[in-house]
Structure 1
């Protein structure tokens, strides 16, 4: 559950630290005081999109940090381990958005992505926005609610993947069937090109070897002449360096007996003799190996020309020829498979059968969940003064299979505008739609494993006894998990286990929002304000006390 929330320079909040308790908590205050800011901040910590607009005017950045107790959430601990993040009984999510709109995130002190915040947040908090009843009219939202409540989301993803596989196979078969002649022409052209290039048997390493060998063969005469000239100067001529250095070294060695200063020079010359002898030996071996070979030179030049002919034809460099051949061979394999129209048709039929098997499983699951969900939502609706209403989930079959299955999901209401069940949008008024939405949210929240539920003014459009029942429903939920509700109704707030008041002040032209935890006396005053408006009377205060007493008694 959510334990602690810290805000710094977020919208109109300068600094705020909140400690959360278990059970059902109400967040109340004057209209425009910023009750929903807390929800927005938490949503940002859970990976929602953020921009520079969340940074308080005149500040460099906004910062939000949320701490959760995850001792009873092994799935979160496992996710942290899988992502290489520190795992303990507490989980700290931190988000910073600067004045330029750039965003950074951390999980337990380690840098993280917004996507990671969003992933882990799905196991921590479920936020029901104040406009949830509007999205309830969308077919995709209705399908998502049904599948989520019935634990069918994973199967739905399998169906979507199978549908894509089927469509891809169907398109491949259709393309092959429509373009057999074009594919055949392309195949014949590629076969000729592959055969010609494969016959060349050229490898990427060969080009560098050929270039080196060609340089040697083309300049063999010069290499031989140069080696012989060097040998003559160094060793073979009468005045060769080797003999002269030997003579000088011998004489200086003899003279060193008279003057030791010549010993060092004699030693250097002796070293030179040894190195010169090695150089002469290497040159003799080289001269013996180098030979004029016009035949080999012609072969190498012919090979190079054959390679360059392919290079010019295909407009690539020599080292790129092997990769070009490999690409053509792969394309030939693809064309060979594509040309087998019967095999592609069989693959398409198999993919369709796999899709239908999964989709039929999904349909069966939806049928079962729809019946149960219809009964349970209808029961909650009756508690919300919609006793004549009957909630149903219809699953009309689609003319053509879709990525989400074989049927549409359609929420219907019977009894509100006649006996026949009709689509939700056509029979429910705004107030009724809000209550129906709340009934669905209460049911789906009970079935979810998320430990913290947040309701942001979902009680809009109701009042009186219905509002009290809404409060009771939320309090019942609070007995099972942590619930926070932003509300403007005293009847709802009076049912809460704990209550915070949001206020807004303006000083020196700067507007700030603050949240104050309320004690018993504070709650009486706030409930009275919600009941009586600007002027709170003794009667209103007594009414507030009675509402709080009644709420406490019902909780026992």
Structure 2
């Protein structure tokens, strides 16, 4: 529900605070008093186009704030969450504009774009002007309006799901066929390449391992002779023997030296230990340098073959194992293609059959609902002085899509003997308003309880017809909220809450003000609507009679 509208410095409004209530809220006033300004301001707060002319003359900036109750489960919660905006049980939309026409939008005091406001607006309120091009006049909306009347929501979702599944199955089949055709064109190459790679059996990291082994064996040829000489120089025929002899000679002389050789003997003992470790290291290195010449030849042949195979397939050597798997998979598509395609074709047939079933059920439900909707609307037209008009929901075949294969257009014939045609081409402005009202009354039970705003929906009618319009607006407002801008006393008399819009000139400036009327003021205003500027006792009595009726 819209429970608050605050306007600052917009057009002729300097400051205005409105608190709307459930039920039928009527706004009246003389022509030119500024009733349309309220709707323009509300539309601006809901993401409508901002322009500098909205700003009150002389003001640096203006703003409009709309406050809505947001019950749990409301669709707006999802939009807020997706946009990363704060939520809660109250939604405050505020939009500002400056003299250059630049606007800024806020949701619950968090900055946002106008597109978010527009998305929220679709879930918060319906605004119907004299040219309702968003709803009744737009044939693109007619199918969804019929589905709303039919209660087809669950079946529409099932049809969408079936369409998505059938589309996915067709894509999978098309991709498989394309893959098989591409693979089949290279079948001979694939068979040869797969066999060649399988026989060679390249391994991950093999190129680096072979290269290291090759360089190690090449280096061994160059250094082995020097390492062997070093081993001999350190061995018994070299340093080890000489140091051993020195140790024996010094040990024999140690008793006569009275401790003078002890440090030398200790140092020599340590040197012999270090020498032993050096010998072991050189011997291990010498062992590692041992290889057969044919091992180097074999390693080089494998390395060169690996790199040649990589160049042939235009990949890096380490990519050959993955290439082998990919080529084998393509070959498998060829070898097992017929069975795979048959399985995918069965999946397409099953998905399309399910879609056909869902779409046919949806078409049948729409056809039944169309007849019911036509009868209900025709019954509503007579009291609205459109008893000679005919309304028909035309359903024709359309290209299959997510929501079935039906095109829906609301058609009317306003005079006997004339061929029916699209609503927006046949009906006049006043007739359109009444057709709209009839449709809204018929859809009210399933409309989801959105607040509705009607701008002069009673234009061009009066007397009993205006009274019928008022009764239907009152019906729409039961359990919900309807706001109507009206010039009709019969409609105003049906209001649960009444605001008067008036224009005044103060200090050379024109201002628009809105005031909430009590019961006595309400009677006076309806009397003015009946009699004009001079309110007579008869007009007051007639106004009271309208209200009491």
* TM-score > 0.5, shorter chain as reference: yes
Give yes or no for contact 1:363–1:407 (8 Å, CA) kept in 2: yes
Match of 2:515 in 1: 517
Q: 1:280 to 1:176 in 2, by over 3 A?
A: closer
Q: SS state of the match for residue 409, structure 1?
A: strand
Query: Are the aligned partners of 1:126 and 1:450 in contact in 2 as well (CA < 8 Å)?
Result: no
CA-to-aligned-CA distance 1:137-159 (integer Å, 9 cap, x gap): 54432211101222223422432
Change (3 A) 1:537 1:110: closer
In structure 2, the CA distance between the partners of 1:140 and 1:484, relative to structure 1 (3 Å rule), is: same
Is the CA contact (8 Å cut-off) linking 1:502 and 1:513 kept in structure 2?
Answer: no
Equivalent-residue separation in structure 2 for 1:222 and 1:506 (angstroms) = 110
1:350 corresponds to 2:350: yes
Q: Which residue of 2 aligns with 1:149?
A: 149
Deviates more, 1:457-466 or 1:176-185: 176-185
- The answer as to whether partners of 1:393 and 1:411 remain within 8 angstroms in 2 is yes
Residue 70 (structure 1) aligns with: 70
Structure 1 Cα separation of the partners of residues 347 and 505 of structure 2: 70
CA distance in 2, matches of 1:515, 1:281: 109
Return the alpha-carbon distance in structure 2 between the equivalents of residues 140 and 36 of structure 1.
25
Structural mapping, 1:110-259, within 5 Å = 123-132=123-132, 136-163=136-163, 165-166=165-166, 169=169, 184-186=184-186, 189-190=189-190, 192-193=192-193, 196-197=196-197, 201-202=201-202, 216=216, 219=219
Residue 289 of structure 2 aligns with which residue? Answer: 291
Q: For residue 453 of structure 1, what is the aligned residue in structure 2?
A: 452
Distance 2:14 2:472 in 1: 34
Q: Quote the offset at 1:300 in angstroms.
A: 5.0
- Residue 535 of structure 2 corresponds to 539
Mean CA deviation greater in 160-169 or 343-352: 160-169
Question: What is the aligned partner in structure 1 of residue 38 from structure 2?
Answer: 35
Distance in 1 (CA, whole Å) between partners of 2:352 and 2:229 is 82
Q: Does 1:21 align with 2:21?
A: yes
Give yes or no for contact 2:95–2:105 (8 Å, CA) kept in 1.
Answer: yes
| Alpha carbons 1:13, 1:56 under 8 Å: kept | no
Classify 1:400/1:299 alpha carbon distance in 2 versus 1 (closer, same or farther; 3 Å): same
Distance 2:320 2:510 in 1: 70
Q: Does the 8 Å contact 1:123/1:449 carry over to 2?
A: no
Residues 291-440 of structure 1 mapped to structure 2, 5 A cutoff: 291=289, 293=291, 298-318=297-317, 337=337, 342-396=342-396, 398=397, 401=400, 403-413=402-412, 416-418=415-417, 424=423, 428-440=427-439
How many residues are aligned here? 505
**2: distance between equivalents of 1:466 and 1:412?**
22
CA separation of 1:460 and 1:538: change in aligned 2, threshold 3 A: closer
SS at match of 1:408: strand
Q: Mark the CA change 1:409 to 1:14 in structure 2 (over 3 Å): closer, same or farther.
A: same
Per-residue deviation, 1:2: 2.1
Deviation at 1:384, TM superposition (A): 1.0
- Closer/same/farther in 2, CA of residues 165 and 288 from structure 1, 3 Å limit: same
- Runs (5+) with no aligned partner, structure 1: 239-272
The alpha-carbon distance between structure 1 residues 350 and 231, as it changes in their structure 2 partners (threshold 3 A), is: same
For the pair shown, the structure with the greater C-alpha radius of gyration is 2
For the structure 1 residues 207 and 531, does the alpha-carbon distance in structure 2 shift closer, same or farther, using more than 3 Å as the test? farther
Residues 504 and 512, structure 1, Cα contact 8 Å, conserved in 2: yes
Question: What are the Cα deviations for residues 431-490 of structure 1, in whole angstroms up to 9, with x where unaligned?
Answer: 323311221123223421234222344444544543332233222222220112244555
Could you say if the C-alpha distance between residues 113 and 123 of structure 1 is closer, same or farther in structure 2, counting changes exceeding 3 Å?
same
- Output aligned runs, 1:465-544, within 5 Å: 465-500=464-499, 516-520=514-518, 537-539=533-535, 543=539
Q: How far does residue 287 in structure 1 lie from its aligned partner after superposition?
A: 3.7
1:301-335 deviation per Cα after TM superposition (whole angstroms, max 9, x unaligned): 44444444354344444555566566656666666
| Partner Cα separation in structure 1 for residue 212 and residue 163 of structure 2 | 57
Cα offsets for 1:487-541 (capped at 9, x unmatched):
45554344323344557799999x9986523324765676677667xxx632379
How big is the shift at 1:163?
Answer: 3.7
Q: Deviations over 1:373-429 (max 9, x none)?
A: 222222221221112334333434x28655542443243446732398665467544
TM-score, normalized by length of structure 1?
Answer: 0.68
Q: TM-score, normalised by structure 2?
A: 0.69
Q: Aligned with 2:449: secondary structure?
A: coil
Relative to structure 1, the CA distance from residue 519 to residue 321 in structure 2 (aligned partners, 3 Å threshold; closer, same or farther) is: farther
Instruction: Tell me what 1:549 maps to.
Output: 544
Contact 1:133 1:437 in 2 (8 A): no
Q: CA deviation at 1:549?
A: 3.1
The 1:70/1:425 distance shift into structure 2, 3 A limit, reads closer
Q: The residue matched to 1:352 in structure 2 has which SS?
A: helix
Query: Given the superposition, is the C-alpha separation of residues 315 and 487 from structure 1 closer, same or farther in structure 2, using an over 3 Å criterion?
Result: farther
Partner Cα separation in structure 1 for residue 142 and residue 284 of structure 2: 87
Alpha carbons 2:76, 2:123 under 8 Å: kept: no
Aligned-partner Cα distance in 1 for 2:412–2:33 = 33
CA contact (8 A) 1:495 1:548 kept: no
Secondary structure of the 1:387 match is coil
